[in-house]
Amino acid sequence: MNRRDFFGASAAMGLGLTTAASTSFATQTTEEMDKRAEAKLRISSQLGPAPGNSLEEKLEKMKKYGCDAVEYHGDCVGKGKEMRKKAEDAGLEVSVICWGSHNGDLCSDDVSKRQPGIDDLKKALETAGELGAYGVIYVPAFNGQTKLNNYEIRQRLMEFMPDVAKFANECGTSVILEPLCRMEAFFLRQVADGASISRDVLRAAKIDDGIGVMGDFYHMDTEETSQMGAFISAGSLLKHVHLAGGVENPRRTYPGENSMTFVDGFRGLKYIGYNKFCSFECGCAGEDKEKAFAQSIQFLRDQWAEA
Ligand code: MG
């Protein structure tokens, strides 16, 4: 196929060679694009990075040091009411469920694995609705989990994701695509790419919510040339943020434990009026985890103020 044939075939197949419409910034005035007045730093944490030994103790300490929400893992699926009550008893909301890739089954080259994966993602979305969470973090495939190539995985997502996003919207929540660094995934590495997939899914499903993207500062440190630019490219499609230091040692630890600055990224979050959650997903380099957690939260608030 020569270049001219390729473009002809692509147009015939409706592969998105049209101008962006509803989500384009081009329809907004400069004043409308600047949403800094709506922005707010609301901190969440997964259970692993939080100090404390039991679930109850972790939730209590998260509240004590200024978190507004908890991020649960996939083991909360089917226990929505119970886990929501535990969070509420500690004075916390539930930000999202960190679900993962389901071994890459939904985008597997083995067709028999796909539907069970979709069914389980829908169960997670039901629980997210019960939890009052913004969404379920979904990774299409980690390296080694599918033989499909980049182009084929995106096509595959467009086959099943419009229906799943509609379902998520009916549950009052969203699928949240997580871009990862190249050491972990060859498909979906940049925030703008996840936003573009989300836009295509929303168009295909004819809905205005039910899927979005997130940014993880650790992965972004490898893949993005500008954290601010990455967040702005997602705009209203940004549903969640993971907090972690970057690749420099100590690698992927509490923000503030290595030299990575969050000011550039926070400027982007402020500009798009981001007020959903920023959630700890990282290790701790300090010997006193509780003290280090409190220091990291203060570091983040200082960086937010500087941004
Ligand atoms: Mg992450």
In this structure, are residues 93 and 42 in contact, taking their beta carbons and an 8 Å threshold? Answer: no
Count of all residues that appear for the chain in the document: 307
- Poorest-confidence range of 5-14, 61-70, 257-266? 5-14
Angle at alpha carbon of residue 44, lines to 277 and 60, rounded to 5°: 150
The whole-number pLDDT of residue 290 equals 98
What is the distance in A from the centroid of ligand 1 to the CA of 70? 14
Angle at alpha carbon of residue 212, lines to 142 and 159, rounded to 5°: 65
pLDDT-based confidence at residue 12 (cuts at 50, 70, 90) = very low
pLDDT, tens digit, 9 for 90 and up, residues 193-203: 999 999 999 99
pLDDT, tens digit, 9 for 90 and up, residues 68-83: 999 999 999 999 999 9
What is the distance in A from the centroid of ligand 1 to the CA of 240? 10
pLDDT-based confidence at residue 10 (cuts at 50, 70, 90) = very low
Residues 274 and 40: their CA atoms lie apart, in Å, by 6
Q: How large is the average pLDDT for residues 201-229? A: 98
- Give the Cβ contact number of residue 95 at 10 Å: 31
The whole-number pLDDT of residue 31 equals 87
What is the distance in A from the centroid of ligand 1 to the CA of 57? 23
Ligand 1 is a single-atom ion; what residues have CB below 5 A from it?
Answer: 216, 242, 281
- Indicate whether 5 pLDDT > 60: no
Query: Sign of the C-alpha dihedral, residues 255, 258, 262, 265?
Result: negative
What is the distance in A from the centroid of ligand 1 to the CA of 138? 10
